Structure 1
Amino acid sequence: MASTEVRIAIDAMGGDHAPGEIVAGALRAREELGVKILLVGDPQQIEAAMPPKTNLADVEIVPADEAIAMDDEPLNAVRRKPKASINVAMDLVKKQQADAVFSAGHSGAAMASALLRLGRLKGIDRPAIGTVFPTILASKPVLILDVGANVDCRPKFLEQFAVMGSVYSQYVLGTPEPKVGLLNIGEEESKGNEVALRAYQLLQKNHQINFIGNAEGRDVLSGNFDVIVCDGFVGNVLLKFAESLGSVILQILREELPQGLHGQIGTAILKPNLKRIKQRMDHAEHGGALLLGVAGICFIGHGSSQAPSIFSAIRMAKEAVDNHVLQRLNSQYPILQNESS
């Protein structure tokens, strides 16, 4: 990198609240994190979304003539619209004009664009989307992958996810020796389908990771595991369930708190605690999911992402760049090139 300033290319046209919330989160990141922001999309819409006194010297607007809609077929749209904002943002990373890319738009299109423009890391058969879940231990999140990129997985894909997840957990999430688990229907080695049984053997033999065995559904938020691997079908169901869990718990708390004067006093006393609960369970605090396995730092946000989520995703992207995640993943090449199936 020619400069110490981390450069983040942002698909300003992707997401339900684009470009307004995207721009707001990006400007906050510029101010608080000191990153260079490259907003990719329609210049007129981007400028209109900026506050009146915004210093345009703080950001760079990169024009893009098209955008990919949420109902577009991802691969066809990426190929048919070379000047779409997500493609232009990926090209900035490919040309080393940006260090990372973020999009809250069509996740399938973001993945297709990353694969076509950045390519896969050596030794990686399938990239995986990894996202961070809170656990019952306040300072110990768990990384789950894959949460949607690969509906079906071969055992060696799960092994590769485990290696990539361990690197990310160690160098970005700050876990010294990440404990890896395989999501399964039982903790015994003999449990699961043929894919799970074979994956267990591969993970057990892989000395590059700290594999501690199967993780059942009840273990996901226990804090006993730092990285849990699964196929994208199961992972995506788990992700959507977890996203709803926080709002359900907060709603129950609101309904069960006493009403009237006593309730108002009790709520006032508990307000700091409730705020911390919300922060721990709110997916906006984690911002986005990292697409691990492509030759670039790529974060994918939820379509409904608003400014706080955008800010958090940019912060995570900066941390991934600062901690040289790509270089560290490339250093695992001899392990990732496992020919086992």
Structure 2
Amino acid sequence: MASTRARIALDAMGGDDAPAAIVAGAILAQTELADVDVILVGDPDRIQACLDRHPNAPKIEVVPAEGTIEMHEEPLGALRRKPKASINVSMQLVKDGKADAVVSAGHSGAAMAAALLRLGRLRGIDRPAIAAVFPTNRADKSVLILDVGANVDCRPKYLEQFAVMGSIYSQYVLGVESPKVGLLNIGEEESKGNAVALEAHEILQQNPHINFVGNAEGRDVLSGNFDTIVCDGFVGNILLKFAEAVGNIVVQMLKEELPRGLNGKVGTALLKPNLKRLKKRIDAAEHGGGLLLGVEGVCIISHGSSDAFSIANAIRSAKSAVDKNIIAQIQSSTRDTAPRKETTVAGD
């Protein structure tokens, strides 16, 4: 599918180091991606002050907004109290067709709520999910995990919908011809797991639209044997944060251990290209954030600590999803799916 010019609305006020890091990321993306127009949404004076620090930066459009959703605020209430907050304005740009995607490193709950309120769910999808790309032990392959934070509790049919959406994303965006789908569980046998996992396994086996290959244990997540793995957002978020921490620790340990002694310093110099490739494979910033699948618009939710490099990669990911027309691909696969009757699970 050919690349088209895309307009990306960037919540300039969301993130630990906003707007400075966000503006720097916008400039980096605008410089590197010839067919992307970034729209910075937020306080015009603060944004302009950051732009002034980059005198050679390309011209970037600024759309005014008033305020932001703070991390301590309850999302729905705050969104209603602050209709002109940067995340609300960003989502409205997509709703009005003035932008093709939204990227935000702000309050993730507010970003999800704003997407649901302003854009709405795709038909046939009960719950949107955040999808994150993880590295595997194979250099040429990654694995998509969803949900990693949108839904702490899931019914089996939600996991089925995640599997369909994740499979489509893996196919059209990550380029996997027939994505192998797994269900994160405590054992590979289909008899393992709690009530939700047992029913989900049966449902996934029966779905003709996905290539379900069985349960995936924790040790299988990075094995390269699966292309998409589904789980509830509670487990997925823990997995995401743990993987990020392990990646950081591995890089730090290598930095500390390799230079020890003269031979170590020589070895470090020789291995520098390899270390750069290793960091690229395990660094979460390489992907910039997770795509919120299941809403009527492309929305990338980035980590609050995102730097300019991470923001630029989030914009790149948004552009890729727009190019592949991922929303239409998901909708075409879920439009005619009949509602599934499911067993009542304790706690629902």
Q: Same fold (TM over 0.5)?
A: yes
Measured on the aligned residues, the alpha-carbon RMSD in Å equals: 1.3
In 2, Cα distance between equivalents of 1:243 and 1:336: 36
The residue identity in structure 2 corresponding to 1:108 is G
Per the TM alignment, residue 334 of structure 1 is displaced from its structure 2 partner at its CA by: 4.2
Matched residues, number: 338
1:163-202 superposed Cα distances (whole Å, 9 cap, x missing partner): 0001111111111111000000000011111100100011
- Give the TM-score normalised by structure 2: 0.95
Q: What's the counterpart of residue 55 of structure 2?
A: 53
Q: What's the counterpart of residue 29 of structure 1?
A: 29
Per the TM alignment, residue 236 of structure 1 is displaced from its structure 2 partner at its CA by: 0.5
Per the TM alignment, residue 254 of structure 1 is displaced from its structure 2 partner at its CA by: 2.7
Say if 2:101 and 2:322, in contact at 8 Å, map to a contact too. Answer: yes
Structure 2 residues without counterparts, runs of 5 or longer? 343-348
Q: Does the residue aligned with 2:130 lie in a helix, a strand or coil?
A: strand
Per the TM alignment, residue 262 of structure 1 is displaced from its structure 2 partner at its CA by: 1.6
Q: Does the residue aligned with 2:102 lie in a helix, a strand or coil?
A: strand
Q: What's the counterpart of residue 174 of structure 1?
A: 175
Q: Is residue 13 of structure 1 aligned with residue 13 of structure 2?
A: yes
Q: Does the residue aligned with 2:229 lie in a helix, a strand or coil?
A: strand
1:185-226 superposed Cα distances (whole Å, 9 cap, x missing partner): 000011111100100011000010000000000000000000
Per the TM alignment, residue 337 of structure 1 is displaced from its structure 2 partner at its CA by: 4.3
Per the TM alignment, residue 5 of structure 1 is displaced from its structure 2 partner at its CA by: 1.6
Per the TM alignment, residue 78 of structure 1 is displaced from its structure 2 partner at its CA by: 1.0
1:277-323 superposed Cα distances (whole Å, 9 cap, x missing partner): 11111000010100000010000000000011001110010000000
Q: What's the counterpart of residue 209 of structure 1?
A: 210
Shift in alpha-carbon separation, 1:54–1:91, aligned structure 2, 3 A: farther
Q: Is residue 281 of structure 1 aligned with residue 282 of structure 2?
A: yes
The residue identity in structure 2 corresponding to 1:24 is A
The residue identity in structure 1 corresponding to 2:68 is A
Q: Does the residue aligned with 1:270 lie in a helix, a strand or coil?
A: helix
Q: What's the counterpart of residue 101 of structure 2?
A: 100
Say if 1:184 and 1:192, in contact at 8 Å, map to a contact too. Answer: yes
Shift in alpha-carbon separation, 1:160–1:322, aligned structure 2, 3 A: same
Q: What's the counterpart of residue 199 of structure 2?
A: 198
The residue identity in structure 2 corresponding to 1:13 is M
Q: Does the residue aligned with 1:331 lie in a helix, a strand or coil?
A: helix
Q: Is residue 77 of structure 1 aligned with residue 81 of structure 2?
A: no
Q: Aligned runs of 1:280-299 on 2, under 5 Å?
A: 280-299=281-300
Q: What's the counterpart of residue 117 of structure 1?
A: 118
Q: Aligned runs of 1:232-311 on 2, under 5 Å?
A: 232-257=233-258, 259-311=260-312
In 1, Cα distance between equivalents of 2:55 and 2:267: 41
Shift in alpha-carbon separation, 1:337–1:27, aligned structure 2, 3 A: farther
Q: What's the counterpart of residue 346 of structure 2?
A: none
Say if 2:4 and 2:323, in contact at 8 Å, map to a contact too. Answer: no
Per the TM alignment, residue 257 of structure 1 is displaced from its structure 2 partner at its CA by: 2.2
Per the TM alignment, residue 54 of structure 1 is displaced from its structure 2 partner at its CA by: 4.2
Q: Is residue 144 of structure 1 aligned with residue 137 of structure 2?
A: no
> Identity over aligned residues, as a percent?
67
Say if 2:122 and 2:296, in contact at 8 Å, map to a contact too. Answer: yes
In 1, Cα distance between equivalents of 2:208 and 2:330: 15
In 1, Cα distance between equivalents of 2:57 and 2:234: 44
The residue identity in structure 1 corresponding to 2:225 is N
In 2, Cα distance between equivalents of 1:258 and 1:24: 32
Shift in alpha-carbon separation, 1:110–1:180, aligned structure 2, 3 A: same
Say if 1:124 and 1:337, in contact at 8 Å, map to a contact too. Answer: no
Say if 1:93 and 1:296, in contact at 8 Å, map to a contact too. Answer: yes
Per the TM alignment, residue 338 of structure 1 is displaced from its structure 2 partner at its CA by: 3.1
In 2, Cα distance between equivalents of 1:207 and 1:4: 32
In 1, Cα distance between equivalents of 2:198 and 2:240: 24
Shift in alpha-carbon separation, 1:258–1:100, aligned structure 2, 3 A: closer
Per the TM alignment, residue 252 of structure 1 is displaced from its structure 2 partner at its CA by: 2.1
Q: Does the residue aligned with 2:174 lie in a helix, a strand or coil?
A: coil
Say if 1:9 and 1:89, in contact at 8 Å, map to a contact too. Answer: yes
- Give the TM-score normalised by structure 1: 0.97
In 1, Cα distance between equivalents of 2:12 and 2:143: 29
Question: 18-27 or 158-167: which moved more?
Answer: 18-27
Q: Does the residue aligned with 2:94 lie in a helix, a strand or coil?
A: helix
Per the TM alignment, residue 327 of structure 1 is displaced from its structure 2 partner at its CA by: 0.7
Shift in alpha-carbon separation, 1:201–1:83, aligned structure 2, 3 A: same
Per the TM alignment, residue 120 of structure 1 is displaced from its structure 2 partner at its CA by: 0.2
1:65-110 superposed Cα distances (whole Å, 9 cap, x missing partner): 1111111111111111100000000000000100000000000000
Say if 2:134 and 2:143, in contact at 8 Å, map to a contact too. Answer: yes
The residue identity in structure 2 corresponding to 1:87 is N
